Amino acid sequence: MRGLRALLGGDAPVIHAQITRVRGSSPREAGAEMFVGTSEIAGTIGGGTVEHQVIERARELLVAGMARDQMDLALGLELGQCCGGHLRVALTRLDAQARAAHLARLDVARLPHVLILGAGHVGRALAEVMAPLPCRVLLVDPRSAELARATAPVETRLTPLPEAEIAMAPPRSAYVIVTHDHGLDFLLTLAALRRGDAAYVGLIGSATKRARFQRFARDTDPAADLSRLTCPIGAGGLGDKHPGVIALATAQEVLGALRHADRNPTICTNPNLGKTARI
């Protein structure tokens, strides 16, 4: 984030590269972006040969003084990719107004992140509750139909790899796992716990589901810190399983955990850095 702020706040020219269309499989979704300077780069559109070609073209635009361009890329073997999809990438040279707008977005990005993984009844209800709170809320799901039903004014991510959103989230984020599939729930919960720097990791379910997840985690990664897990989520709902009640109680848990992490930053430090890792 600091590197991007310096890049946008400087005087050197910058190209904004953004995926505007995806067909088939792709390492990143439409909307993924990066910023390319003459020697600096911030952000990513998925890495690999595709990103390398985009960077090269962006720098050609900088040298030529061009304002914009568009690239259509097939993710096939000729690019060293096996996704098989197609990307369209828009490249735009940023003027002063556009740079200021992107800098303003960074202020929003500094808000604590809450990733709601699953856009079913509970996920959508939680997004509605969290939307007006001082958080950056992302609703993530591989199902376009479920995301289309979401009406909350939050960011959405349609992706076949929700674990990638966990990997890219900033430290001290909150993760609420409420997908349609128990196996996916377990994989995403373990991915969030493995980070070691989460403010909150919550899994929808019951005491029985928690016990099953604990067995799964011990078999998969015995080093995972299971004490960081909240399951079931929304215990303050006193057993009421209405999505709205679960959402209200879970939002209270999440907000409390985020505030606690903000007051005690070392509590959510990655344990690999030699700090404590409990909340």
Nearest to 265 by CA among 199, 195, 170: 199
Q: Is the pLDDT score of 274 beyond 50? A: no
Average pLDDT for residues 54-67, to the nearest whole number? 96
Q: Is the pLDDT score of 235 beyond 70? A: yes
The alpha-helical segments, DSSP class H, found in 65-120 are: 96-109
Q: Is the pLDDT score of 168 beyond 80? A: yes
Q: Within 13 A of 91's CA, how many CA atoms are on the CB side?
A: 25
Please provide the average confidence, as pLDDT, over all residues in the chain.
Answer: 88
Q: Is the pLDDT score of 278 beyond 80? A: no
Q: Identify which has the larger pLDDT, 239 or 213.
A: 213
Convert the pLDDT of each residue in 217-228 to its tens digit.
999 999 999 999
Average pLDDT for residues 96-109, to the nearest whole number? 82
Q: How many residues in total does the chain contain?
A: 279
- Round to whole Å and give the CA distance between 246 and 201: 15
Question: Which of 11-20, 69-78, 194-203, 239-248 has the weakest average pLDDT?
Answer: 69-78
Contacts of 162 (CB under 8 A, 6+ apart): 117, 140, 141, 142, 179, 184, 188
The dihedrals phi and psi of 21, each to the nearest 5 degrees, come to: -155, 140
Greatest mean pLDDT among 67-81, 143-157, 226-240, 259-273 lies in 143-157
Q: Is the pLDDT score of 237 beyond 70? A: no
- What SS3 class is residue 11? coil
C-alpha distances out from residue 168 to 115, 162, 173, 176, Å: 11, 10, 10, 15
Average pLDDT for residues 36-63, to the nearest whole number? 93
Q: Model pTM?
A: 0.62
pLDDT > 90 fraction of the chain, expressed in percent and rounded: 69
Longest dimension (CA), the chain: 64
The dihedrals phi and psi of 31, each to the nearest 5 degrees, come to: 105, -20
pLDDT confidence of residue 193 = 96
Q: Is the pLDDT score of 240 beyond 90? A: no
Beta-bridged to residue 35, according to DSSP, are 16, 42
* DSSP letter, residue 72: E
- Which domains does the chain carry? 2-106 (no CATH), 111-273 (3.40.50.720)
pLDDT > 70 fraction of the chain, expressed in percent and rounded: 89
Q: Identify which has the larger pLDDT, 26 or 233.
A: 233
Nearest to 245 by CA among 254, 253, 236: 236
C-alpha distances out from residue 125 to 143, 150, 244, 245, Å: 17, 9, 6, 9
Sign of the C-alpha dihedral computed for residues 109, 113, 117 and 121 taken in this order: negative
pLDDT confidence of residue 48 = 84
Average pLDDT for residues 204-214, to the nearest whole number? 94
Give the pLDDT band (50/70/90) at residue 271: very low
Q: Is the peptide bond before 232 cis (omega within 30 degrees of 0)?
A: yes
Contacts of 200 (CB under 8 A, 6+ apart): 174, 175, 176, 230, 253, 254, 257, 258, 261, 279
Q: Is the pLDDT score of 276 beyond 60? A: no
Average pLDDT for residues 101-119, to the nearest whole number? 85
Compute and round to an integer the Cα radius of gyration of the chain.
Answer: 20
Which token pair is 275? Answer: 């700090």
- What SS3 class is residue 198? coil
Which token pair is 214? Answer: 């604990």
Give the pLDDT band (50/70/90) at residue 14: very high
pLDDT confidence of residue 279 = 29
pLDDT confidence of residue 28 = 84
Nearest to 28 by CA among 56, 50, 6: 50
Give the pLDDT band (50/70/90) at residue 241: confident
Q: Is the pLDDT score of 77 beyond 70? A: no
* DSSP letter, residue 170: P
Helix/strand/coil percentages in the chain, nearest 5: 45, 20, 35
- What SS3 class is residue 120? coil
Cβ-contact 73, 89 below 8 angstroms: yes
Q: Is the pLDDT score of 81 beyond 60? A: no
